Structure 1
Amino acid sequence: MRRTRFGPARTVVVFYAITVSIGTLLLALPFTTVHDGHAAFSTALFTAASATCITGMSPVDVATYWNPFGHVVILLLVQAGGLGIVTLSARLLQLLHGRMGIEGTLAAQAEAHTDTPAHARSMIRVIVRFYLALEACLAVFMALRLHFAYGESLGRAAWEGLFHSVSAVNNAGFTLYTEGAAKFTYDPWILGMLCGGVFIGGLGYPVWFELMRRRRPKDWSMHTRLTLGGSVVLFLVGLGTFLAFEWRNPGTLANLDVTDKIWNCIGGAVFPRTAGFSTVDYTAVRPETTAINYVLMFIGGGSAGTSGGIKVSTFFLLGAVIISEVRGEPQARVGRRAIPVAVQRQALTVALLGVGTVMIGTIAILTISEQPMQLVLFDTISAFSTTGLSANLTSKLPVAAQIVLVALMFIGRVGTMTVGTALAMRRNKRRYQLPEEFPIVG
């Protein structure tokens, strides 16, 4: 019975652990760097974990440290990590719905448009094709832009377009340029394509599949309403933050013209949602922007997508619970649908476990290193949420602190989904009720 409950969740952990191990061994080979000899084991491990967990953090300059073979390995790890989490989450959702009984299964399928376990293979094929087609389209447009606007050879433009499209759709944030996405600070076309790939990939396949079938908002499921509406709200919050606090900041946007400022503000609103691309130096942003980014990174993107964090649906579901409690309503609800108590408990557990993980990681790194609290917290949240943004701190940390970040990336990538699935599958029905007691709250 225990194997039935925890087997699927354990599969996710094993898959990512094996992938990170293989990636580490490949990156530790002597012919993966541009320098003589092989990469340090800690560097290979950190990069492999970051790529597999589609984070984008790195203790070295990816563009100049790894040779083309190393870049191919990183690209394959990003692809495996991105499609892996999507397809495994699809399978877990199917197994989960199969344990909910006939009524629960039919309701879940109607809301999320997931197939029965008998159709698992066909569904996963559709999901993989969806993401690969998105990557291919983005790669073509980026390659054309790089070829005609930047004078890249057709082969080089095709390779760079492919690499960055995969990195964007999978919310990884790796680039082949020393300056990162800042290379495109003055190019709204590339910035627009990167933002589009990040947003579409991070929203999650359940939302996109439902939008294809249900065009009218009143027919959307609670998950789609929470994810889509919450994503729009967070985008506007991030955009407003950049517009308000960075517009006149000489360290970030003050020297740009209006059009470039607006596009970089859009990037500043999208990229912290677990993408990892950056067109500004995050050590130069105002404290208000940093504080908002803490929240945006921690929340992340949509469930069953390539983004990280505790997920948009989790955050706004808890917000709906708070609003209902403040209003004194007997049931927490979203629209005309009530939120089951079991789902409320799952969301609260995922959120508090995330807070606890970030706190422990931050304290551990502060103990190991002598870096300022603000920068450590930024990188810790970025690692846990698999965002990949960094306050130029990763390369300055000792190896022990980098291992802490590796653990945070791994937990952030597989932890929230496996914990949520395990909690949902542990539905033992008691044949009795315990007496209630009301402790003082607040």
Structure 2
Amino acid sequence: MRNWDPVYSLSSYRRVRRTGLLRASPPFVLAVGFLCLILLGTLLLWLPIASLRPLTLFQAFFMATSAVTVTGLTVVDPASQLSQFGQVVLILLVQLGGLGFVTFAVISAITLGHKMSLKHQALALEAFNQTSVSKIRHTAFLVFKTSIIIEAVAALILTLWWWRDLPLGTASYRAIFHAIAAFNNAGLSLFPSSLAQFVADPVTILMVSSLIILGGIGFPVLGDIVKKKRWTRLLPYTKVILLGTLTLNLTGFVSIWLLEFNNPATLGALSVPGQALAAWMQSVTARTAGFTTIDITQLHDTSTLLIIMLMFIGGGSLSTASGIKIGTFIVLLAAVYSYIFHKKEVVLLKRSISPDTVQKSLALVLVTTALAFCSVLLMTIFEDVPFISILFEVVSALSTTGLSRDLTPHLSLPSQVLLTVLMFVGRLGPLTLVYSLATRKRSRVRYPETEFQVG
């Protein structure tokens, strides 16, 4: 441990006094920023005017964490237990957590005409997963403008559609809430039983599912599509994410429909079009959104395991979705293919993938899997409930999906605390959390290779 050095301490104090910042890694600053937003949301939701029945401090903290991490797991019903003030606070936390406080910070700095310092550039690069400083401003504005336009258009469509059955003010209020929640993949709803009453409503289901997909594929993909407009001109990454998203959604849609069409507790009681809409919605929402139109506690175990897999994979990088991300999953599939068929390079769409990218993908999957395993192990100690329900809840929290088998509100305090930690870690990314705890150092020492048996 470093001995106390008065000169070093004095210089550190002067640096903090001069800059107002501690020397910390960008991921650590991001983590602190999200934590501060959660604490602010907790205080606001704890106010008497935020709820119809008083919330405990932990209930307010859990709901704020769920909103900021755009998860959607709840310990209280937002529709029946939060006041309009509390609901507005909740959806604002979703918007801030989904787009990221860094986006607003960068846009504010640009608007005021300030140049970004090296520290701020490093922070923005980490938040936007970029390697070029020149792309930061473009990405920040892209995130903001794209989100506002998509949410506004969706809110208008839902308002006009729901106006048939609700007063205009109520329809507009709920449309804005659900447009923000869906685009940010949060899964919070102001209707009883999520979106169950719209199970056979094509306009609502297709609108909400479209918002989930647009928010989940990632802003770089959306920007590339807007800029290039033609498939042949799109970047290889964009093509891979679009094809991966389509494949996963269709696979989930067909599988859930085939597995559940005879189940009277889920799809069996619906018409054929209703079954198609319900299966499609369940497949899309499993990609870290959290809305439901059927009772997922009644799903067959096979369907439940399929949904767990979809939640674990998640959406695209730099999106409102979480999970290990589609890109990570596809890179590992390509790496396995290359190894099995003795290819020297990992190739996707005639482009080679760097070893660093493969290692990062592998590390992310292993860290996420280890977190899930340890969390499931702990929760089996705390709770006496079916194992598959525990696994489902843990993966849902870690992937910030928000789907629940009606277990979260009934869990013990230790398990609910564990879920809040998983939501926080899942939003920041396991690798980001590890990086924030231990600064990466490159060793100049090289060791001789040795034979090591694996497999």
TM-score, structure 2 normalization: 0.87
Distance 1:7 1:232 in 2: 36
> Which residue among 350, 353, 373 is the counterpart of 2:387?
373
> Which residue among 397, 410, 418 is the counterpart of 1:383?
397
Q: Which moved more, 1:80-89 or 1:355-364?
A: 80-89
Asked whether 1:243 is paired with 2:264, we answer: no
> Which residue among 201, 204, 209 is the counterpart of 2:215?
201
Q: Deviations over 1:202-237 (max 9, x none)?
A: 110011111222344444334223321211111111
Larger radius of gyration: 2
SS of the counterpart of 2:428?
helix
Distance 2:182 2:297 in 1: 23
- Structure-to-structure mapping, 1:213-362, within 5 angstroms: 213-362=227-376
Distance 2:281 2:331 in 1: 26
Unaligned runs of 5+ in 2: 1-20, 108-118
1:189–1:276 CA distance, 2 compared to 1 (3 A):
same
Q: Which position in structure 1 is the counterpart of 2:45?
A: 27
Asked whether 1:8 is paired with 2:22, we answer: no
Q: Deviations over 1:368-389 (max 9, x none)?
A: 1111111010010000000000
Q: Which position in structure 1 is the counterpart of 2:423?
A: 409
The answer to whether the 8 A contact 1:87-1:127 is kept is yes
SS of the counterpart of 1:333?
strand
The CA deviation at 1:335 is 2.1
- Structure-to-structure mapping, 1:41-80, within 5 angstroms: 41-80=57-96
Distance 1:249 1:158 in 2: 35
The CA deviation at 1:123 is 3.6
The CA deviation at 1:90 is 9.5
Q: Provide the aligned length of Structure 1 versus Structure 2.
A: 422
The answer to whether the 8 A contact 2:314-2:322 is kept is yes
Distance 2:449 2:405 in 1: 48
1:85–1:97 CA distance, 2 compared to 1 (3 A):
closer
1:90–1:183 CA distance, 2 compared to 1 (3 A):
farther
SS of the counterpart of 1:130?
helix
Q: Deviations over 1:136-175 (max 9, x none)?
A: 1100000111102x2x111111100000000000000000
Q: Which position in structure 2 is the counterpart of 1:106?
A: none
Q: Which position in structure 2 is the counterpart of 1:176?
A: 190
Amino acid at match of 1:187: D
Amino acid at match of 1:126: L
1:89–1:439 CA distance, 2 compared to 1 (3 A):
farther
The answer to whether the 8 A contact 1:282-1:391 is kept is yes
Amino acid at match of 1:407: V
Q: Please list every run of at least 4 consecutive aligned residues from structure 1 whose deviation after the TM superposition is greater than 6 angstroms.
A: 88-94, 96-99, 420-423
Amino acid at match of 1:32: A
The answer to whether the 8 A contact 2:124-2:136 is kept is no
Q: Which position in structure 1 is the counterpart of 2:178?
A: 164
SS of the counterpart of 1:338?
strand
The answer to whether the 8 A contact 2:26-2:123 is kept is no
Amino acid at match of 1:31: I
Amino acid at match of 2:99: L
1:6–1:123 CA distance, 2 compared to 1 (3 A):
same
Q: Deviations over 1:91-122 (max 9, x none)?
A: 999749989xxxxxxxxx9xx9x695256345
Q: Which position in structure 1 is the counterpart of 2:111?
A: none
Amino acid at match of 2:452: P
Distance 1:98 1:357 in 2: 26
SS of the counterpart of 1:354?
helix
Amino acid at match of 1:162: I
Amino acid at match of 1:84: G
> Which residue among 115, 139, 162 is the counterpart of 1:146?
162
The answer to whether the 8 A contact 2:142-2:223 is kept is no
The CA deviation at 1:359 is 0.9
Question: Aligned Cα RMSD in Å?
Answer: 2.7
SS of the counterpart of 1:171?
coil
The answer to whether the 8 A contact 1:274-1:386 is kept is yes
TM-score, structure 1 normalization: 0.89
> Which residue among 416, 436, 440 is the counterpart of 2:449?
436
Distance 2:360 2:295 in 1: 37
- Structure-to-structure mapping, 1:113-128, within 5 angstroms: 116-118=132-134, 120-128=136-144
Q: Deviations over 1:66-88 (max 9, x none)?
A: 11111011011101101117838
Distance 2:308 2:326 in 1: 14
Amino acid at match of 2:56: A
Distance 1:315 1:5 in 2: 34
Distance 1:328 1:85 in 2: 45
Amino acid at match of 2:49: F
The answer to whether the 8 A contact 1:63-1:178 is kept is yes
1:118–1:230 CA distance, 2 compared to 1 (3 A):
closer
Distance 1:115 1:127 in 2: 17
The answer to whether the 8 A contact 1:191-1:263 is kept is yes
Distance 1:96 1:5 in 2: 12
Q: Which position in structure 1 is the counterpart of 2:7?
A: none
The answer to whether the 8 A contact 1:346-1:420 is kept is no
Distance 1:93 1:342 in 2: 25
Q: Deviations over 1:312-366 (max 9, x none)?
A: 0001110000000001011111122111111111111111110011111111111
SS of the counterpart of 1:379?
helix
Distance 1:85 1:331 in 2: 38
Distance 2:354 2:124 in 1: 15
The answer to whether the 8 A contact 2:139-2:220 is kept is no
The answer to whether the 8 A contact 2:252-2:306 is kept is yes
The answer to whether the 8 A contact 2:256-2:303 is kept is yes
1:268–1:406 CA distance, 2 compared to 1 (3 A):
same
Distance 1:329 1:386 in 2: 36
